[in-house]
Chains A and B, each alone.
Chain A
Amino acid sequence: MLKRIAKFIFTATIILFPLCCSAADENFREEDLKRENVIQTKISNTGVSILNSNKIDERISFAYDKTEAKEKLKLDKALLTRQIIIYGYDYKFIEDDNELAAMLSRRIAEGYRSYSGAFNGRLSSLKMKAAPKKYQLVFDKIAVDYMVRAGYNPIAMITFINKSCPQKRNDTISHENLTSKRLAEIYEYIYTKYPYYLKNNDYFNNVHYQNFLLTSAENRKLLQNKIKSGSKEKLKYE
């Protein structure tokens, strides 16, 4: 009798265990999907509001990919299919809607530029790929304009880049600018075009903005001297 009961329990465990596991797995997957859906909705809504506010009359779509980061050899969909993919690695750095808008605005600027120009925009895409360093600074600035027109605070661009982009030793033979240089250029751009946000700075006590103030003292000194002297020359930030 005991043997039969043991046999029954053993058989039931073998049959029920995978079923229980798969139910738990399904529950977990459903939770994961719900979480992804919330993030996707937020990204799409913010992205489309930037497109609408900036009268961008070309289609650009948005997708969230929870994969850690973009694979190095994967093609950039923002230029090819005008789909902006936000990877989990980048999304981790976002603290508020302004920072999300900062990240999306940059990518929108790239995607929108790939529409204009010869051969159905292919030549423009090629130029962007051939001179990424130059266009990196351009898109930072265009993104600031997009953010302001869509009602977001452009200072978030500074806090977002400050915490998410690493600082290289130098950028002489790199295809990217030094992050400190990018931040200084953005700061100057905001100072020149949208000083309202620096005067009424909601991010002033933000730790990342404070860190930017701490690490950009020399570059801001250069800008201060330029403003005092009334010079219009382009500054060489480090």
Chain B
Amino acid sequence: MNKMFILLTAILICAINPAFSIQVPYDELVETTLMDKQIEKPYEHIGYNYRNNIKIPVKISITEKIKSEADIYEGQSVCFAVQEKVSYKGKTKFKKGDIINARVGTIITSGMNGIPASIIFENFEKAGIEPGQISNNVEVFGQDRTYFVFPLKWALTFLPPTGSLTNFIKGGHAKISPNKVLTIYYYPEWL
């Protein structure tokens, strides 16, 4: 009986003592910031049906001005206002002034050779509209200087290294104001 008791105690000590336990892999960032949060599974567009491809343009504009891609961050929420009423089969789907919530998806910074910065807006959400029925994203570009940088670079190829100096011309910043109208599409027959 005593032997049994000693054995059980030894097993218990081994199980409790961290020195005896198996090293469990650990991601501190996830453990400390995500584990106590309720997080829903992201939307998956798997049940698609592309039999009817009717698409209706929806004109939208941002509610708050973005001066540059440097002023925002990926994942930031943004709002767009509908500019024109959109109807389908006699029913109003988007009223003028309706707010569409969206998110800054990916930010592409401006680069050498006149490559412009751009902002990809995505996750357009409106009550009554399925996520699969609306455009995935819309991209806003800064001033594209590649139109003159690339020809200039090639023209200067005969005078090395002047052609390479065009590398230092950077593209424009991506900015968007409430006056700029963007177009996304509504696909009423899609799932």
Contact = CB atoms under 8 A, between A and B. Distances in A.
Interface of A: 52-55, 118, 123, 126-127, 130-131, 134-135, 138, 141-142, 145, 148-151, 189, 191-196, 198-199, 201, 204-205, 210, 213, 220, 223-224, 227, 232
A57 to B, nearest CB: 8
Interface string B88-126: 000000000000000101101101110100001010000
A199 B25 contact: no
Nearest to B33: A227
A235 B100 CA distance: 30
A64 B136 CA distance: 29
Interface stretch (B6-14, B40-48, B156-164, B174-182): B40-48
A26 B39 CA distance: 55
Interface string B66-81: 0000000111000000
A145 B105 contact: yes
B44 A148 contact: yes
A53 to B, nearest CB: 5
Nearest to A123: B146
B30 A201 contact: yes
A235 B20 CA distance: 38
Nearest to A126: B150
- Chain B: number of interface residues, binned into ranges: 35 or more
Nearest to B106: A141
Contacts of A195: 34, 37, 39
B109 to A, nearest CB: 7
Given A53-B44, A118-B147, A142-B106, A227 B136 contact: no
B75 A196 contact: no
Given A130-B115, A131-B112, 15 more contacts: A53-B48, A54-B45, A55-B132, A55-B136, A123-B147, A142-B106, A150-B45, A195-B37, A195-B39, A198-B27, A198-B34, A201-B27, A224-B29, A224-B32, A227-B33
19 contacts: A53-B44, A54-B45, A54-B136, A55-B48, A55-B132, A138-B108, A141-B74, A145-B105, A145-B122, A189-B74, A193-B42, A193-B75, A196-B39, A196-B42, A198-B27, A199-B35, A199-B37, A220-B28, A223-B29
B29 A220 contact: yes
Interface of B: 25, 27-30, 32-35, 37, 39-46, 48, 50, 73-75, 103, 105-106, 108-109, 111-113, 115, 120, 122, 132, 135-136, 146-147, 150, 190
A179 B163 CA distance: 31
B42 A194 contact: yes
B25 A205 contact: yes
Given A150-B46, A194-B42, A199-B37, A138 B106 contact: yes
Contacts of B45: 53-55, 149-150
Given A118-B147, A196-B39, A196-B42, A210 B25 contact: yes
A177 to B, nearest CB: 13
Interface centre among B44, B103, B132, B150 (most CB of A within 10 A): B44
Contacts of B73: 232
B28 to A, nearest CB: 7
